[in-house]
């Protein structure tokens, strides 16, 4: 990666320090030990099954259908949701988990036999991927981490995991392996922070997605479906 | 647009606000809904006060070491291939942004909602060089289509418009043919704006929180427009006020949780997007080029002063949603893109007392704002500090506070005076009363009754009623 340019840094930061009434900081500042840490208390000690309950309840609040299924029933469950959304065209990530969870047949044969076009994100095709995603009816991704409290799927985008798959199609389906569910955003933030401290770069785009897009900008009435997907379904799959 | 909106004097703006009955109804309904959302979200957590205190300690520490964290941020952004420009003034920021756009030969720019770009009049600067700048937040877009009607709330900018007005704007300006149903209006916006997103060469965003130790910018939206603006165009420019920064992901997480709950009562908004540099190697979508513009524009004047805490603000508008003055006069009355209690504190600091000396008086000092603030900014105390400074500078208060307070003080200073006053009230007011209401009151009541009725003083005073009730009770 070529380093980017930085302009006016010293004059600007010297001025900031001067306004604060001291010279520019030149030594390492440690974060203080915070007096409060309420985020650690949320759903503390909850089992995976209890977190599933929390997630399902939150799904209702954010206008998202939540389905729970076993690995062996996943292909049928996914097909049902895709067809329920009107089939037509699907775009997915290039993600080895589709194979791990036994979905290859469905994507390669099952859906096409029902006149559904399936496009798997292909780095070689470049911008063509975006064009296909823009016209697609359904976008499908796995969830990398899932937040029970807010009903959020966290996607670490990059390479085969295009940003557009969860954004441009009219509807969106997230497959949530049960083991990815954590209480809340705190656990993801701590993991990214630890990785970052260990010199591991965070993905160029991390999306926290909680249901379909919406707006309350017209008379404060909630409208579901603005720029992103209009409908969303989560499929929780027992992977243990 | 700049921070200042309109040219009318404070009193005229207030009069205009007070006589707009749709706006006042919309504002109070919205306030109620947003406030209830926050309270429910707070109650669900159980330990909301600890959350607030944590937010406060994070903001305080970060601002005290702002130079340190900004340096860490920009070093990390540049390591990831992003370009950074520090702008002392609005002009410097606009010059840099317009140069980037010119270099790209870009004509179409999509923007996701950003207060700081409003503050520096970035749209005008870009329009001057021939660019088409499209706002993509639904509320902001409605205002833009309506010949740049100014925003009236920092979270819900088009709050002052009803759906019929929005339908008419779309019909007159864009040939919209459907009904005033919000879903149909939104679908129309989706279709129109989708084309703009696909055509845009540059996407410009604000920044909710920049994360120093990873070089990340975080965007909080519900509509998905910030995601569109950072997924489709080949160049991304993010503009941030220099105080909008946290040390690490751990603190970002806490402040985002506070922001979404305090703003709209959501646990998280539909989309929180954390972006680090331009797209990575092998990534297909996302910008090829990323620029971060860090803006001072008057903020450093606030650092190191008794008003430093005003820079702790995370722009949630919780203070606006509980303010009884905002409820009645609406957002435009403040004459600033920052309305409500935080606007009354911030606008005079950024824009000067000459334009904004009345704002610290547009408050009852009831402290509801301070209580609502998710990072515990003592807003009403900062308003008092402003008043002290203004009186020191001007030698007098700019509005009628002194006179009306003097009369009230006289009337309430001694039990005797209060007794006489409250006893006399029903008799004195009798000529003005019609069906238990005063529709055209004298003296100090005139400002009130010119737009609404005032209840007539009760014939039985509370004091007498209470005394009689005690007597009755002791009898039984």
Question: What confidence tier does B68 reach under pLDDT thresholds 50, 70, 90?
Answer: very high
The SS3 assignment for A6 reads strand
- Cβ under 8 Å to A: B residues 292-351: 294, 296, 300-301, 303-304
pLDDT at residue A122 greater than cutoff 60:
yes
A204–B225 CB contact, under 8 Å:
no
Nearest to B78 by CA among B206, B215, B172: B215
A-chain CB neighbours of B290 within 8 Å are 4
Interface test mutation site (partner B, options A151, A158, A227, max chain B beta carbons within 10 A): A227
pLDDT of residue B32: 87
Kindly determine whether residue B280 and residue A5, on different chains, have CB atoms separated by under 8 Å: no
Query: Which of B30, B67, B187 should be substituted to probe chain A, the one whose Cβ sees the most A Cβ atoms within 10 Å?
Result: B67
Q: Which positions in chain B touch A121 (Cβ < 8 Å)?
A: 284
Which chain A residue has its CA at the smallest distance from B68's CA? Answer: A25
**Choice among B29-33, B63-67, B251-255 with the minimum mean pLDDT:** B29-33
Q: Are B83 and B287 in contact (CB under 8 A)?
A: no
pLDDT above 80: residue A41: yes
User: How many Cβ atoms are within 10 Å of B167's Cβ, its own excluded?
Assistant: 21
Interchain CB contact of A59 with B (< 8 Å): no
Q: Which of A16, A208, A216 lies nearest to residue B66, judging by beta carbons?
A: A16
Query: Do B136 and B111 form a contact (C-beta atoms < 8 A)?
Result: yes
Tell me whether residues A32 and B283 touch, CB distance under 8 A.
no
Which of B69, B213, B71, B218 lies closest to A197 in space, CA to CA? B213
Where do the structural domains in chain B lie, given as residue ranges?
A: 10-300, 401-475
Measure the CA–CA gap between B461 and B424, rounded to whole angstroms: 10
Q: Which pLDDT does position B417 carry in this prediction?
A: 59
pLDDT at res. B46: 84
Using the Cβ of B86 and the Cβ atoms of chain A, whether some distance falls under 8 Å is answered with yes
Measured distance between the N- and C-terminal CA atoms of chain A, rounded to whole angstroms: 39
Q: Which residues of B touch A216 (CB under 8 A)?
A: 156, 222, 264
Among candidate residues B250, B203, B253, the one with its CA nearest the CA of residue B230: B203
Q: B119: which residues sit within 8 A by CB, 6+ positions away?
A: B2, B3, B90, B241, B295, B297, B337, B350
| Residue recorded with tokens 């955003």 | A185
CA angle B301, B305, B308 (to 5 degrees): 85
Contact by Cβ (8 Å): B71, A13: yes
User: What are the chain B neighbours of A205 within 8 Å (beta carbons)?
Assistant: 230-231, 273-276, 279, 283, 286
Residue A110 CA to residue A79 CA, distance in Å, equals: 8
Contact B190, A229 (CB under 8 A): no
Residue B46 CB neighbour total at 10 angstroms: 12
HSE at residue B352, side-chain half, CA atoms within 13 A, is 4
Question: Are B271 and A20 inside 8 Å of each other by CB?
Answer: no
Q: What is the mean pLDDT of residues A194-199?
A: 96
Residue B403 confidence class, pLDDT cut points 50, 70, 90: very low
- Kindly report the CA angle at A41 between A39 and A46, in degrees rounded to 5? 120
pLDDT band for B387, please (50, 70, 90 cuts).
very high
Do the beta carbons of residue A216 and residue B138 sit within 8 Å? no
Q: CB pairs below 8 Å between A and B: how many?
A: 304
The pairing of beta strand A181-182 with beta strand A171-177: unpaired
CB A233 within 8 Å of CB A173: yes
Q: Give the nearest chain B residue to A208 (CA atoms).
A: B272
Residues B136-168: tens digit of each pLDDT: 999 999 999 999 998 888 888 898 899 999 999
Strands B216-221 and B271-276: antiparallel
Model pLDDT, residue B466: 77
This complex has an ipTM of 0.97
**CB within 8 Å of chain B, chain A residues 118-137:** 121, 123, 125-127, 129-130, 134
Place of tokens 């076993």: A70
- The chain-wide mean pLDDT, for chain B, equals 89
Chain B: nearest CA to A113, how far in angstroms?
29
pLDDT value at residue B41? 87
CA atoms of B238 and B90, how far apart (whole Å): 14
Question: Measured between alpha carbons, how far is A96 from B116 in angstroms, rounded to an integer?
Answer: 42
Distance from CA of B308 to the nearest CA of A (A): 9
With 90 as the cut, is the pLDDT of residue B398 above it?
no
Contacts of B361 (CB under 8 A, 6+ apart): B387, B397, B398, B399, B401
Residue among B224, B248, B292 with most chain A CBs within 10 A, to mutate: B224
**What is the band of B437 on the pLDDT scale with cuts at 50, 70, 90?**
low
Domain B10-300 has CATH 3.40.50.10420: yes
Report A:166-195 residues touching B (Cβ under 8 A): 167, 184-186, 188-190, 192-193
Helix (H) / strand (E) element for B85: namely strand B83-87
Treating both helix axes as pointing N-terminal to C-terminal, what angle do B163-174 and B138-145 enclose, rounded to 10 degrees? 60
**B112 CB-contact burial (10 Å; exposed 0-12 / middle 13-18 / buried 19+):** buried
Cβ within 8 Å, pair A42-B213: no
Token readout for B440 is 């055209």
Query: Using CB atoms and an 8 Å cut-off, which of residues 84-103 of chain A contact chain B?
Result: none
Instruction: Say yes or no for a CB contact (<8 Å) between A126 and B66.
Output: no
Sheet holding B289-295, edge to edge: A6-7, B83-87, B289-295, B235-241, B202-205, B108-111, B132-135
Can you tell me whether residue B429 is helix, strand or coil? helix
Q: How far apart are CA A181 and CA A162, in angstroms?
A: 22
Give the mean pLDDT of B405-426.
58
Measure the CA–CA gap between A232 and B5, rounded to whole angstroms: 40
From B77-81, B166-170, B257-261, B417-421, the region with the lowest mean pLDDT: B417-421
Judge contact between B290 and B81, C-beta under 8 A: yes
In whole angstroms, how far apart are CA B450 and each of A181, A205, B362, B442?
59, 55, 19, 10
B3 touching A (Cβ < 8 Å): no
pLDDT at B270: 96
Domain A47-238 has CATH 3.40.50.10420: yes
C-alpha span between A118 and B171 (Å, rounded): 38
d(CA B40, CA B262): 10
Q: Which helix (H) or strand (E) holds B240?
A: strand B235-241
Which of A4, A9, A203 best probes binding to B when mutated, by most B CB atoms within 10 angstroms? A4
- Between strands A89-92 and A117-120, the pairing is parallel
Order the strands of the B433-434 sheet from edge to edge: B433-434, B437-438, B454-455
**CB of B103 less than 8 A from some CB of A:** no
Q: Per residue in A54-69, pLDDT tens?
A: 999 999 999 999 999 9
State the residue for tokens 């919780």: B318
| DSSP tag of B162 | -
Where are the extended beta strands (E) located within chain A?
A: 6-7, 65-70, 89-92, 117-120, 138-142, 145-147, 152-157, 171-177, 181-182, 205-209, 214-215, 223-224, 231-238
Stretch B195-208: mean pLDDT, rounded? Answer: 97
Residues of A in contact with B196 (CB under 8 A): none
Domain ranges in chain A?
A: 47-238
pLDDT for residue B22: 82
Please state, in angstroms and as integers, the Cα–Cα distance from residue B351 to each residue in B152, B196, B300, following that order. 18, 33, 13
Q: CB distance from B42 to chain A under 8 Å?
A: no
Q: Do residues B264 and B233 touch, judged by C-beta distance below 8 A?
A: no
CA A102 from centre of chain: 21
Instruction: Find the length of chain B.
Output: 476
Between CA A73 and CA A175 the distance in angstroms is 13
Q: Distance (Å, rounded) from C-alpha B160 to C-alpha B30?
A: 10
Distance between CA atoms of B238 and A234, rounded to whole angstroms?
A: 32
Question: CA B115 → CA A213, B122, B125, B157, B342, distances in Å?
Answer: 22, 11, 16, 11, 13
Q: Minimal Cα–Cα distance from B37 to chain A, Å? A: 12
Distance to chain B for A107, nearest Cα, Å: 22
Percentage helix, strand, coil, to 5, in chain B?
A: 55, 10, 30
What is the nearest CA distance from A128 to chain B, expressed in angstroms?
Answer: 9
Strands of the sheet containing B271-276, edge to edge, are A181-182, A145-147, A152-157, A205-209, B271-276, B216-221, B209-211, B245-246
Inspect the interface and report whether the beta carbons of A163 and B159 lie closer than 8 Å. Answer: no
Which of A162-166, A196-200, B397-401, B468-472 has the weakest average pLDDT?
A: B397-401
């Amino acid at each position: 990666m070529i380093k980017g340019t930085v302009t006016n840094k010293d004059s600007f930061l010297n001025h900031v320090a001067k306004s604060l009434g001291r010279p520019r900081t030149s030594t390492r500042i440690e974060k203080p030990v915070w007096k409060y840490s309420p985020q650690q208390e949320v759903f503390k000690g909850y089992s995976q099954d209890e977190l599933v309950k929390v997630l399902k309840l939150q799904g209702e609040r954010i206008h998202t259908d939540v389905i729970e299924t076993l690995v062996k029933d996943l292909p049928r469950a996914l097909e049902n949701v895709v067809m329920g959304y009107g089939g037509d065209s699907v775009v997915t990530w290039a993600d080895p988990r589709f194979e791990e969870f036994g979905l290859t047949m469905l994507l390669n044969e099952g859906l096409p036999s029902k006149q559904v076009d399936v496009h798997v994100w292909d780095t070689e095709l470049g911008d063509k991927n975006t064009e296909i995603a823009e016209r697609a009816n359904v976008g499908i991704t796995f969830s990398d981490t899932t937040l029970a409290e807010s009903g959020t799927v966290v996607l670490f985008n990059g390479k085969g995991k295009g940003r557009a798959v969860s954004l441009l199609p009219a509807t969106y389906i997230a497959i949530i392996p049960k083991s990815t569910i954590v209480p809340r955003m705190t656990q993801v933030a701590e993991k990214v922070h630890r990785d970052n401290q260990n010199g591991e770069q965070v993905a160029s785009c991390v999306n926290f997605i909680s249901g379909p897009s919406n707006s309350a900008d017209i008379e404060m009435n909630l409208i579901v479906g603005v720029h992103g997907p209009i409908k969303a379904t989560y499929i929780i799959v027992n992977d243990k | 647009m700049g921070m200042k909106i309109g040219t009318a004097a404070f009193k005229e703006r207030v009069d205009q606000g007070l006589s707009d009955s749709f706006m006042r109804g919309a504002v109070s309904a919205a306030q109620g809904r947003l406030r209830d959302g926050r309270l429910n979200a707070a109650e669900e957590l159980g330990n909301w006060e600890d959350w607030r205190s944590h937010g406060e300690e994070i903001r305080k520490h970060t601002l005290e070491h702002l130079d340190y964290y900004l340096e860490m941020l920009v070093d990390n952004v540049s390591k990831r291939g992003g370009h950074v420009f520090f702008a002392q003034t609005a002009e410097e920021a606009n010059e840099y942004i317009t140069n980037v756009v010119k270099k790209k030969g870009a004509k179409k720019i999509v923007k996701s909602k950003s207060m700081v770009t409003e503050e520096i009049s970035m749209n005008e600067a870009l329009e001057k060089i021939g660019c088409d700048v499209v706002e993509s937040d639904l509320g902001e877009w409605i205002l833009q289509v309506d010949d740049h009607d100014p925003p009236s709330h920092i979270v819900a900018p088009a709050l002052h418009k009803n759906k019929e007005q929005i339908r008419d704007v779309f019909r007159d300006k864009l040939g919209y043919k459907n009904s005033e149903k919000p879903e149909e209006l939104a679908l129309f916006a989706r279709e129109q704006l989708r084309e703009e997103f696909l055509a845009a060469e540059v996407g410009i965003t604000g920044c909710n929180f920049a994360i120093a130790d990873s070089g990340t910018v975080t965007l909080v939206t519900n509509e998905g427009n910030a995601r569109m603006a950072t997924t489709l165009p080949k160049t991304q420019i993010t503009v941030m006020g220099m105080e909008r920064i946290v040390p690490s992901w751990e603190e970002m997480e806490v402040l985002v949780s506070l922001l979404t709950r305090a703003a709209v009562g959501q646990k998280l908004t539909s989309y929180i997007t954390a972006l680090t540099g331009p797209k990575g190697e092998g990534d297909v979508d996302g910008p090829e080029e990323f620029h971060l513009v860090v803006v001072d524009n008057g903020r450093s004047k606030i650092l190191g002063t008794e008003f430093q805490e005003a820079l702790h603000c995370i722009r949630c508008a919780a203070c606006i949603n509980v303010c009884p003055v905002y409820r009645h006069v609406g957002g435009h009355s403040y004459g600033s893109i920052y309305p409500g209690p935080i606007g009354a504190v911030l606008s005079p600091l950024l824009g000067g007392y000459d334009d904004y000396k009345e704002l610290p008086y547009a408050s009852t000092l009831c402290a509801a704002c301070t209580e609502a603030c998710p990072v515990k900014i003592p807003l009403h105390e900062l308003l008092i500090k402003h008043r002290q400074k203004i009186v020191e500078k001007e030698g007098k208060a700019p509005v009628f506070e002194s006179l009306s307070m003097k009369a009230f003080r006289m009337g309430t200073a001694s039990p005797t005076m209060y007794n006489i006053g409250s006893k006399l009230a029903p008799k004195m007011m009798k000529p003005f009363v019609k069906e238990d209401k005063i529709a055209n009151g004298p003296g100090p009541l005139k400002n009130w009754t010119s737009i609404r009725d005032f209840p007539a003083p009760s014939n039985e005073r509370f004091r007498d009623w209470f005394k009689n009730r005690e007597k009755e009770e002791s009898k039984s």
